[in-house]
């Protein structure tokens, strides 16, 4: 379908972009890579009167790595992450997850900020943000604020962003070199959205016990979630076969799964457990 009629603006500064969104009082939308918004417009799932193109805000396409962690500008594209060799050490979990995003053409245009704002429950970046306790910086007309990823996703395609706010940056905390991690997802075809996916990491103490265990899940409920009950199971334990099987069992019990045309809720719960177990196997195998 053709797009609905709308106006288009391509501001040169962030202030102008925010002012345009604010002036249209919820009837304007930012556009970054357009990989989610254009289909939404074509299907008439959204009908803003104005599109505010962020493409000229080049400073938002930087990846900064320091002792504070990894800072991804909102306009960083999946391809930028794939191409950045520094991230192999600075955030291997992020890099592994992004390899599962869609197809080459989409990874070439889609942005991290767009993915966070779109808030698809099966998207990889929101899952990594929640699992890793990322912070999202959003700039609006009256202020700039930092939102914890845990408070950012309110439901499917719904976030804590106000209509005049633009995401400028996503910060991921520092990543210790020795950290054990794994990312697994199951999709019907390579590049499709995940039917279930799991991101896990833990640090191993001198006695071989898991510490600081983090377990996140995507594609199962209405938003990405950390599974505190599974993390508690792993904390202070050796991650052996029994611990991984128990983590899978607890995942399938506690996860809030939804049914859709692709799978029943029961299947998704079971799949989520399998993804967590496989991700833990990967984590354990890493030294």
Which of residues 160 and 209 has its CB atom nearest to ligand FAD in the complex? 160
What residues from 185 to 204 belong to the interface with ligand FAD (CB under 6 A)? 193
113 lies in the binding site for ligand FAD (CB under 6 A): yes
Nearest by Cα to 118 from 23, 29, 22: 29
110 lies in the binding site for ligand FAD (CB under 6 A): yes
136 CB-near residues (< 8 Å, 6+ apart): 116, 129, 146, 147, 148, 149, 152, 167, 169, 170, 171
Which of residues 98 and 250 has its CB atom nearest to ligand FAD in the complex? 98
Residue 149 and residue 135 in contact, taking contact as beta carbons nearer than 8 Å: yes
> H or E element: which one contains 149?
helix 149-152
CA 64 to CA 260: how far, in whole Å?
39
The residue written with tokens 């074509």 in the block is: 42
114 lies in the binding site for ligand FAD (CB under 6 A): yes
Which of residues 199 and 239 has its CB atom nearest to ligand FAD in the complex? 199
Among 4-12, 118-126, 195-203, 241-249, the segment contacting ligand FAD (CB under 6 A):
118-126
270: its two tokens:
């079971």
20 lies in the binding site for ligand FAD (CB under 6 A): no
41 lies in the binding site for ligand FAD (CB under 6 A): no
CA 251 to CA 210: how far, in whole Å?
17
221 lies in the binding site for ligand FAD (CB under 6 A): no
Which of residues 68 and 104 has its CB atom nearest to ligand FAD in the complex? 104
Among 5-13, 79-87, 121-129, 250-258, the segment contacting ligand FAD (CB under 6 A):
121-129
Which of residues 125 and 213 has its CB atom nearest to ligand FAD in the complex? 125
> H or E element: which one contains 89?
helix 87-90
Nearest by Cα to 43 from 99, 3, 98, 97: 3
Contact pick of 130, 167, 199, 220 for ligand FAD (by CB under 6 A): 167
11 lies in the binding site for ligand FAD (CB under 6 A): no
32 lies in the binding site for ligand FAD (CB under 6 A): yes
β strands within 85-179, DSSP E: 135-139, 144-148, 153-155, 158-159, 166-172
169 lies in the binding site for ligand FAD (CB under 6 A): no
287 CB-near residues (< 8 Å, 6+ apart): none
Site string for ligand FAD, 123-162 (x = CB under 6 A): xxx-----------------------------------x-
Q: How many residues bind ligand FAD (CB under 6 A)?
A: 30
Among 32-40, 80-88, 244-252, 259-267, the segment contacting ligand FAD (CB under 6 A):
32-40
CA atoms within 13 A on the CB side of 72: 34
CA 180 to CA 173: how far, in whole Å?
15
Which residues of this protein are in contact with ligand FAD, per CB under 6 A?
Answer: 29-37, 39, 54, 74, 101-102, 106, 109-111, 113-115, 117-118, 123-125, 161, 166-167, 193
């Amino acid at each position: 379908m053709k797009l609905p009629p709308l106006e288009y603006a391509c501001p040169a500064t962030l202030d102008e972009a925010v002012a345009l969104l604010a002036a249209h009082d919820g009837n304007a939308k930012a556009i970054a890579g357009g990989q989610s918004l254009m289909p939404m417009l074509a299907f008439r799932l959204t009908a803003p009167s104005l599109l505010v193109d962020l493409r000229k805000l080049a400073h938002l396409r930087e990846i900064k790595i320091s002792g504070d962690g990894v800072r991804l500008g909102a306009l960083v594209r999946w391809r930028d992450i794939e191409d950045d060799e520094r991230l192999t050490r600075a955030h291997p979990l992020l890099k592994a997850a992004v390899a599962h995003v869609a197809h080459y053409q989409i990874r070439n245009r889609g942005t991290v900020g767009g993915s966070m704002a779109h808030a698809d429950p099966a998207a990889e970046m929101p899952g990594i943000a929640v699992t890793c306790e990322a912070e999202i910086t959003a700039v609006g007309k009256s202020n700039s604020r930092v939102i914890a990823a845990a408070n950012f996703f309110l439901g499917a395609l719904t976030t804590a962003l106000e209509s005049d706010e633009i995401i400028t940056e996503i910060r991921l905390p520092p990543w210790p070199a020795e950290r054990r991690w794994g990312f697994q997802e199951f999709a019907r075809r390579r590049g499709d959205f995940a039917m279930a996916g799991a991101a896990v990491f833990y640090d191993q103490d001198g006695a071989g016990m898991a510490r600081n265990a983090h377990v996140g899940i995507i594609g199962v409920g209405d938003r990405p979630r950390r599974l505190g009950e599974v993390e508690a199971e792993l904390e202070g334990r050796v991650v052996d076969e029994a611990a991984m099987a128990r983590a899978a069992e607890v995942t399938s019990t506690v996860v809030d799964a939804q049914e859709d045309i692709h799978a029943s809720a029961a299947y998704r719960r079971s799949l989520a457990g399998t993804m967590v177990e496989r991700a833990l196997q990967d984590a354990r195998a890493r030294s």
